[in-house]
Amino acid sequence: DPILSGKHVVVTAGPTREKIDGVRFISNYSSGRMGFAIARAAYRRGARVTLIAGPVQLPTPEGIVCIKVESAREMDEAARALYEGTDIFIGAAAVADYRPLEAVEGKLKKGAETMAVQLQLNPDILAGFGAQKKAGQLAVGFALETAGGLLNAKGKLESKNLDLIAFNTFEQPGSGFEGDTNRLTLIERNGRTDALPLMTKDEAAGKLLEAVSRIMGAEGGNA
């Protein structure tokens, strides 16, 4: 792909882990498959690709640099360090929105009948990139929503200053977390919407990058 060739594509993937104490954490079901499929698809199209991955059980694809992180704050730090040299930022990670306000040192003792863990909002990694995006840089996100959440996805496209968002749901079989398939609806800034059928995550990644390439070619990012 002459447009993606040589571009630096940064992809976040997988879950994050937010420590409760030395042995426990808050996390989610993300396997990293969607993000890794995007990274491979971008590499195949000639891009230079950096993955920033939370804890996943996937091998690092050939030719791709993978920065391994655990928490949202670590993922944010790794992303910020790459901002300047990033042409296309794709947020496929399921970042924990909240972390325990204070991680307990050692191991929380069992005993009390109920206990509360106070949570603190995490940085929004994708919104951070979107907010500082320069002409020529593209910001692409995902929105994981209930089946009727298309409007929420559009809201995220706006509020995070994205060029493209991929709406997907955890409520339909074969979609969302884990597994090898997904059903994406691609929504562009100009309102163009493409509801893709159920397909493998590799195929979906290909479709996403086709759209990214077209947008980049047409606009040169947000110029």
Nearer to ligand PMT (CB atom), residue 108 or residue 127: 127
Give how far Cα 127 sits from Cα of 62, 79, 221, Å: 29, 11, 16
d(CA 140, CA 165): 6
142 is in an annotated binding site: yes
124 is in an annotated binding site: yes
142 binds ligand PMT, rule: CB under 6 A: yes
Q: Of 9, 93, 164, 187, which lies in the binding site for ligand PMT, with binding defined by CB under 6 A?
A: 93
Nearest distance in Å: CB 220, ligand PMT: 22
50 binds ligand PMT, rule: CB under 6 A: no
Give how far Cα 36 sits from Cα of 13, 14, 87, 157, Å: 7, 9, 18, 22
Write phi, then psi, for 8 (nearest 5 degrees): -95, 110
Contact of 190 with 105, CB cutoff 8 Å? no
71 binds ligand PMT, rule: CB under 6 A: no
Nearer to ligand PMT (CB atom), residue 43 or residue 167: 167
33 binds ligand PMT, rule: CB under 6 A: yes
DSSP string, 73-125: HHHHHHHHHHGGG-SEEEE--B--SEEESSPPSS-PPP--S-----EEEPP-H
Q: Of 54, 100, 130, 141, which lies in the binding site for ligand PMT, with binding defined by CB under 6 A?
A: 141
154 is in an annotated binding site: no
Residues belonging to the binding site are 97, 107, 123-126, 142, 156, 160
Binding site for ligand PMT (CB under 6 A): 12, 14, 30-34, 72, 91-95, 97, 122, 124-126, 141-144, 156, 168, 176-178
